[in-house]
Structure 1
Amino acid sequence: MTKCGYVSVVGRPNAGKSSLLNWLVGEKIAMVSHKANATRKRSNIIVMHNDDQIVFIDTPGIHETEKLLNQFMLDEALKAMGDCDLILFLAPITDKVSHYEDFLVKNKKGVKHILLLTKIDFVSNAEVLEKIKEYEKYNDKYEAIIPISIKKQTTQADILNDVVKHLPVHPYLFDPEIMTTEHLRDLFKEFIRESIFDNISDEIPYETDVMINKVDEKPGVDVIKATIIVQKGTQKGMIIGKDATAIKRIGKDARLKIEKLTGKKCYLELFVSIKKGWTKNRQGLKELGYDVTF
């Protein structure tokens, strides 16, 4: 009599969704960046808790914008909210309650949810209690409200025990040995994107993407060739950097992430290509895996 189900992890951009999921699974699977809107697509992260299986869905941040790529990201989050058994809504402790009120409006199917107050390391216990009081007027909406700190006070079981309570009795949906349904190529792409976000400043990372051209899995080493896509020639110059210092830094950072995941050596070769206006038209987005259907 195992329990198994889908749990969407949602919240505003930079609420800590990907960091939470990496912590819950005990491995770096989801892309993490201190910059908002780094996550672009849904991805499944599988956590076994005792004899039960939880399929977490990492989602882009809930936000409003007229940009086509960002509209795709919002659509991804809304689809995840509508196609799951439970929602975890992440609310940073310093946020206004208005973000949660917006979520309630967007949760059109009324999927049951747990409210997680994140980043409580930065405030006092009295401030945590005060914030909980602010949310109490909505206590008929959420199943539970849990203050969490992934750095010290909270354990994974504190969250997983509550999550499992709300999942249906169901056989496993996936092999319990795997941690994600994503292909390795997709994880490699996200690690390279993360390295761009971490090493290139300002808006340039938001107008870049990555195409994995080839993966050759050899004994003891993965040989990966990938192309970083930019929109303008000036962006290409900044990605490469003077004497290729920037692209070398990006490559080294991504290679270390990949090697930590696979446990093998990695030879990573990066190229840069210009695809003008790819974030602004449906065809450009589709070619990079963002199929805009709305």
Structure 2
Amino acid sequence: MNVLKGSAVVAGLAASFILTVTPQATAEKPSRLFGTTGACNNASPGGPCTQRSTLVELDPRTGALVREIGPVGYTVNGLAWDRRSKRLYASTAIGDVTFHGLITIDPQTGAGTPVNALVRNFGLAGPASPIHSITLDSRGNMSAWYDEFPPPLTVTDTYVTIDPHTGIASEHPDTGINTSQNGLSFDDDDRLWNIDAPSSKSIGAPPTQTAYQLRPTDGTVLRGVPITTPTPAALGDFSPDTGLYYGLEFEPFSATKATFIEAVNVRTGTLTTLGQTVDDLHTLAFAKKVK
């Protein structure tokens, strides 16, 4: 694993962080920041995964590696911390040949375990569903997302609710928006946000990017906030300490492993690049530190 170690880089990250955080950043007990490395970058979309994920802990102030915890045993495409049960959950990729569904991860060892090994494909009938970007609100309600791939062109993305005790999902199709390389996350006030990637409305048009606030019951769009400096910020999470959403910029399905952390203020639409982080980092999840 290639990790940034230069003090100049860390200092630069810290400086960027200071400029973007809210007064909450002075909290006495900062949250822990978990992530996973490894994705289906060596396979075509929908093909079998050739990598397995590793759980890591990062410095929530800089994104620098704190420690490599251990192998998950599965290919992770979504990571979320349950504030009520103090459990770390993950979704596994559609191409995971071992288990495609909901798992828990031991934050001490990194080992992953299916919530229910009999519930594959999140209990959904028919073709495999590429569920990713899981997130939980303060009451333990779990949501997720997946991108629909047309044709037909009229099909829009699907919102998902998941029972964290059984791993069984319920689909809410045709949300009215098409996103890609996005991130779904509840903020600390249980508002649900979907941070889209930049896209152009027509050939030659400049890219635009939107943070969508969604209704948690069915994924209906409530409003959209334009994001300045359009930059991918995928598979991330809101920090309980700063109120900002932290997502990842990387090149999917590529041999390039360089990954950057982006911070998004959904109230103002401001996006700030904090800097480069652990190579091949693929998910983020904040865990509020407890006594």
Query: More strand by proportion, 1 or 2?
Result: 2
Q: Which has the higher helix share?
A: 1
Q: TM-score, normalised by structure 2?
A: 0.25
The alignment's TM-score, normalised by the length of structure 1, stands at 0.25
